[in-house]
Amino acid sequence: MKYDAIIIGSGQSGSPLSSALADLGLTVALIEERYLGGTCINTGCTPTKTMVHRAQVAHYARNAERWGVIARDAGVDLPKIVAQKDKVVLGFRGGKEKQVAKRPNLHLYRSHARFTGPHQIAVEGATHDSEKIFIDTGGRPHIPNVPGLAASGYLTNETILDLTVLPGHLIVLGGGYIGLEFAQMFARFGTQVTVIHDSPQIVPHEDPEVSAELQKALEAEGLNFLLNARTTGVERAGDALVLSLEVTSTDPLGVTKISAGAITGSHLLVATGRTPNTGDLGLDKAGIETDAHGFIKVNGRLETNVPGVWALGDVKGGPAFTHISYNDYQIVYANIIEGKNLSIDHRIVPYCVYTDPELGRAGLTEKEARAQGYKLKIGSAPMSSVSRAIERDETAGLMKLVVDATNDQILGATCLGANGGEVVHIPYTLMLGKLPYTVLKGGVFIHPTMAEGLFFLFNAVKPVD
């Protein structure tokens, strides 16, 4: 069959794009091998943030006396939490299914898709053609090549969501965003947690003082960290898992040493990155180029090297966030349908790591800005200077502003603190408008709010070498 558009994958690009094109009267094929909604709804944002919230409630209940509140025998009913998570997921997924069902010119194929040519897709035993094909197949957990790991019975960010019995000791392999969210979540549920990371700092993309402050806050809740630790093997010993490690350390004289060690736990979560779902798409038959890691190469307009074929969302590499995938849809729709010429090349990326304190970020880090040769102004303020944080007794964290000294425009912002993901949108708005930070330096901030901390942050901005 000949379609006006074929969309492979129903993530946060594919779903809205299929509906939008169908609403224009086009005949659209939407191909989804698993569940409608992609990673975000089914195994990413929706289920994890539902459970992160329950973990926060457990944290407040278990530590209620810190705030002068008496709460006895606080515990966690993990099966009930998982059931609540499933209900939210099914509700969101059901909404996606209704959106498809009400559009007769939107044809849903629940099967695997494979290219047989530049504009031909085989699915369910038939081949379909279109001059416009959009790839939104997302990614899956990356599993490192560690001896014994495959046979160990490890967990991923997908399978750990279905545990109904708390691990005795959860080992988290990977100190990035995903690993830390699950590490704190299960620690707050009542599990002993150890995070193993092969770099000298957790969330290595962030500036060192930000990572250090977040690690300090997590350690205060009982999480353990083994940094500069490379996993060399995994063994199952009865109900336990034993990880062999090589730990790199530097003594006071600057001499680097590598020592062997081991750690034993009941469960292992592998959170070492993402792999694109491109290996079985037949991209070679279409002549679509990928990089060394399998991500599809695109230009700023999200076009592949094959005319009429676009790649959106995580499958193209770059920032793996739901809102970025949705923005990919917005850009492609604006370019193809509205005749605009939008690009991702200079897109400012905001994001949030849903630890507590939250790590809200937008734009460049200081180390990135320095690497790009900017003359800088830097501002930093601890959350302990924010009245609202003091009143809530949640003063962990800091705020940081990276400013272009030549025009006072914000290059990057960090809000590590309670509601950090919300507060960071204020400097992000200035960044979108290309406005100097001084626009709000003398602004009136509601007292007391977390956003009021920006008053102290803006006033702390000073030139740096």
Same fold, 2-141+274-336 and 350-463: no
Q: Which long-range contacts (CB under 8 A, 24 or more apart) does 208-214 make?
A: 209/380, 209/398, 209/400, 210/359, 210/365, 210/398, 210/400, 210/414, 210/416, 213/396, 213/397, 213/398, 213/416, 214/180, 214/353, 214/355, 214/357, 214/359, 214/397, 214/416
What radius of gyration do the chain's Cα atoms show? 24
Which CATH architecture is the domain 159-270 placed in? 3-Layer(bba) Sandwich (3.50)
In this structure, whether the domain defined by 350-463 belongs to CATH 3.30.390.30 is answered with: yes
Give domain 2-141+274-336's CATH number out of 3.40.1310.30, 3.40.50.10440, 3.30.420.250, 3.50.50.60: 3.50.50.60
Bridge partners, residue 290, by sequence: 296
Site of tokens 């001896």:
147
Tens-level pLDDT at each residue, the chain (465 residues): 999 999 999 999 999 999 999 999 999 999 999 999 999 999 999 999 999 999 999 999 999 999 999 988 889 999 999 999 999 999 999 999 999 999 999 999 999 999 999 999 999 999 999 999 999 999 999 999 999 999 999 999 999 999 999 999 999 999 999 999 999 999 999 999 999 999 999 999 999 999 999 999 999 999 999 999 999 999 999 999 999 999 998 877 777 888 899 999 999 999 999 999 999 999 999 999 999 999 999 999 999 999 999 999 999 999 999 999 999 999 999 999 999 999 999 999 999 999 999 999 999 999 999 999 999 999 999 999 999 999 999 999 999 999 999 999 999 999 999 999 999 999 999 999 999 999 999 899 999 999 999 999 999 999 999
Domain segments of the chain: what residues? 2-141+274-336, 159-270, 350-463
* Residue of 142, 169, 267, 447 marked catalytic: 447
The question of whether 205 is a catalytic residue gets the answer no
